[in-house]
Amino acid sequence: MENWHCLLLLCTLSLELSSGGVTKNDDDIDLVSFLRNVYPELLIINRDFEINSVEELGRPGDPAIIQQTKDKPVTQDTDGAAGPAVITKDGQIKGITVDKAHVFYGVPYASPPVGAYRWKPPRPVSPWHGVYDASFPRAACMQFCSKAITEECPKSVSEDCLYLNIFVPLDVDLSSPLQSHLPVMVWIHGGDFIAGSASKPLYDGRFISNFTHSVVVSLEYRLGAFGFLVSGKDPHTSAAGNYGILDQQAALLWVQQNIAVFGGDPAKVTVFGESAGAQSVSLHLMIQSSKPLFNQAILQSLPFSIPLKTRHDALKLGKGFAKQTNCSVSDFVCLLSLTPQAILAAQMKTSSKILNPFRFLEVFETWGPYIDGELIKEQAVTAFQKGRWQKEKPILLGTTSEEGVLFAYGVFNKPVSTVECTVYITAIFKQHTLQILHKYLPLYRDADHRNMLAQIVTDFVFLCPSRRSARAGTAAGSKFWMYVFDHVISDRSVWSGLTFCYEHSCHGAELPFLFHSASVANFTLSPSEKLLSNRMLCYWGAFAHTGDPSSRSQQTTFCREQRLPIWPRYSDTSGFLVMNLTVRSHTQAGTRNHICDFWDQLGIY
């Protein structure tokens, strides 16, 4: 009987979609009501869920909001407690020596974006006198903590948040002239462009730095409405958006100008990021002004098929935001006068209002970069397929094996029937729905179709467009290495209650292994998992040193002891082999090539 329902529903939806009756960008049309008229038992999307994973959010409750620090924490006592000290172009900085590394926390890379500078591009740091205290992390950028997903939210948040952390191997003597410089790895955190922090214990860079002999930098950037609000076109009289991306660019420029005094080589910079961080890295690979700021890139779990907003859609979001604040979208003075708390509240309300099944993919990214025509000119998946990116730069690219589980089970908190599944697939894929159902439905016999939806998200959003981009790049002569992370962590506490990830390699599952941060992030790894972790950070380190994760030429003693399996370049001559990162890591042909061939032929990335 359900199959008949399915067919009837599909016919009705197809007629409406083909007539344009429900797809036009119209505030008057209530698509949820339309769907309920067709099928009254339609499941309600869990609107309170925000797409976050092991890397993104934490304890419920609001972190403390810190106002701008009027003066940098500077002390005149240059002969005080022992700690590594350097002189940057802006002034002297003293850090702290911890187990495994010298660390400089909370180093300012731009002036605070507060007051009249709230929605303005980042400005250079004002030099200071005395010694800047870099012994403790600064506040994270403004965000709202709503779900228990990791052990902690940021302890404090602030608009004054444009800082970075630097990790230097212990054997680098910063008190004497440096004879040689180490490769630099710059980490851009994920969090759906609304959450996350460079200072999360999960991202502690001391272990990668120490074991691979590289300088690791992690940066904060403006999030949510603070980083991405668009209220008009004129940047002088409105918020023009993409400030979070400009922040990242400013941090990369700071690295070019200052990292040498920390022992880093500005001519050997690898930018790496996961999820929204990987999206950010992909944009810097397309942005001409970012080109001289780094040499190669690592893209972890890049959601290629989640589209960046058009200017029209970004402005529509901005108008909805302004409405929630009781400011006119054209009244920039009113918007600038809002408290940080009021902006967060309006951001949350706007996010929940625009979600509906016909904009299903926007559930995953309400706030974020948009195509402004100047800084960002097109979708990343288009740029990579057309060769409009910095093709001379080596790329390491990969996904987890079950990216979509977090999304499907997070958004749908109850079982999804065949009929409901058809609704959502039709909402996303329109005229391609029948082909997709024909491909996937026979493979999933359960009454609950969330597993099927999860696999479609994995394939369509992450895996297959990554494969397509890598193949287009290799055909044009670019160097790619591909991986799939395919291990289920034994310590379930890393998921903090996300039970549906306990038996899966969810979005973000590789992060505890890459950063080797178990000892500081309160989880444990088994002996075989420690070997996987060691190998992963050694692959990433080898890539930073040489542009090849399989290179042995500049390996540390630690990495030589890990006996890394060979990781061949992704190319047709090697059979397009992918590294399967698991407790017995090995190369393999893509296990879902037939499915990705199907998506490639649909041509809808």
Beta strands at 163-169 and 101-108: parallel, antiparallel or unpaired: antiparallel
CA 71 to chain centre: 31
Distance (Å, whole) CA 267 – CA 253: 12
Looking at the DSSP bridge assignments, the partners of residue 167 are 103, 216
| Structure token pair of residue 235 | 């940047």
- DSSP code at position 591: T
* E strand or H helix at 158: strand 156-158
HEC profile of 266-320 = EEEEEEEEECHHHHHHHHHCCCHHHHHHCCEEEEECCCCCCCCECHHHHHHHHHH
| Structure token pair of residue 454 | 């999860």
Cβ burial of 17 (10 Å; 0-12, 13-18, 19+) is middle
- Give the residue ranges of DSSP H helices in 165-242: 206-212, 224-228
Contact of 587 with 576, CB cutoff 8 Å: no
* E strand or H helix at 527: helix 527-546
Give which of 307, 304, 305, 285 is closest to 294, Cα–Cα.
285
Distance (Å, whole) CA 517 – CA 512: 6
Set 56, 220, 362, 403: catalytic member = 403
Set 238, 275, 290, 417: catalytic member = 275
Would residue 218 show up in a list of annotated catalytic residues for this protein? no
Rg (CA), the chain: 24
Give which of 256, 252, 254 is closest to 265, Cα–Cα.
256
Would residue 432 show up in a list of annotated catalytic residues for this protein? no
Set 213, 449, 507, 516: catalytic member = 507
Other C-beta atoms lying within 10 Å of the C-beta of residue 216: 32
Contact of 126 with 34, CB cutoff 8 Å: no
CA distances from 542 to 39, 170, 282, 322, 546 (A): 55, 19, 21, 48, 6
Would residue 220 show up in a list of annotated catalytic residues for this protein? no
Catalytic residues: 275, 403, 507
